[in-house]
Amino acid sequence: MIFLGPPGAGKGTQAARLASELGYKKLSTGDLLREHVAGNTELGQLAKPIMDRGDLVPDDLILAMVREELAGLEAPQVIFDGFPRTIAQARALDKLLAELGIRLRGVLLVDVEQEELIRRLLERAHKEGRSDDNEATIRRRLEVYTQQTQPLVSYYQSTGALRHIEGLGTPDEVYKRITGALS
């Protein structure tokens, strides 16, 4: 399954709960990149300034990272959080899933209006201090989402895999909508 949506929509929160209840692996490219940054790896050094600006890390680096993660999995039951984010990533994922014989069960588009996204991310900045949760970078992340990730909505709509989830409300309310859409 894939969780799609703008920054702050609640993809990570909902993907973690669903993965834990279904016994799936949650694969978040943002979390993996932050692990590389914390470990000061070559990829982390390259990705950090890009993430701090709110831009996307190049597709080839993301795809190599995802391939490596998938290769290490015992069972192909995965919830992708924040991946794919470009049409090129989506096409590469389709190819990879076909090679591995994995079926895409659904794409959950969690949508929330922009002012609420900014409010949530600024609130998280006060609690956790993620380096890309400042107003300038948040605005850039939202722009990048509109320009480079939103085209995936029509891409997955055309395959019939897309489910729209209203992301406003409490995390429990949103989760109920997700399980309802999947059943």
* Known binding-site positions: 8-13, 29, 34, 55-57, 82-85, 89, 124, 130, 141, 169
Does 7 bind ligand AP5 (CB under 6 A)? Our answer is: yes
C-alpha dist (Å) from residue 170 to 9, 26, 88, 166: 12, 21, 33, 11
DSSP track, 8-59: TSSHHHHHHHHHHHHTPEEEEHHHHHHHHHHTT-HHHHHHHHHHHHT-PPPH
Q: Do 28 and 15 touch, CB atoms closer than 8 A? A: yes
Provide the 10 A C-beta neighbour count for residue 136. 10
Does 174 bind ligand AP5 (CB under 6 A)? Our answer is: yes
Candidate list 1, 8, 17, 178; residue touching ligand AP5; CB under 6 A: 8
C-alpha dist (Å) from residue 92 to 97, 98, 129, 181: 9, 10, 33, 26
Candidate list 9, 27, 79, 92; residue touching ligand AP5; CB under 6 A: 9
**Binding site residues for AMP, as ranges?**
29, 34, 55-57, 82-85, 89, 130, 141
Candidate list 67, 91, 124, 176; residue touching ligand AP5; CB under 6 A: 124
**Binding site residues for ATP, as ranges?**
8-13, 124, 169
Q: Do 77 and 22 touch, CB atoms closer than 8 A? A: yes
Does 82 bind ligand AP5 (CB under 6 A)? Our answer is: yes
> Least separation, in Å, of the C-beta of 164 and ligand AP5?
15
Q: Which residues bind ligand AP5 (CB under 6 A)?
A: 5, 7-13, 29-30, 33, 50-51, 54-57, 62, 82-83, 85, 89, 120-121, 124, 132, 141, 169-171, 174
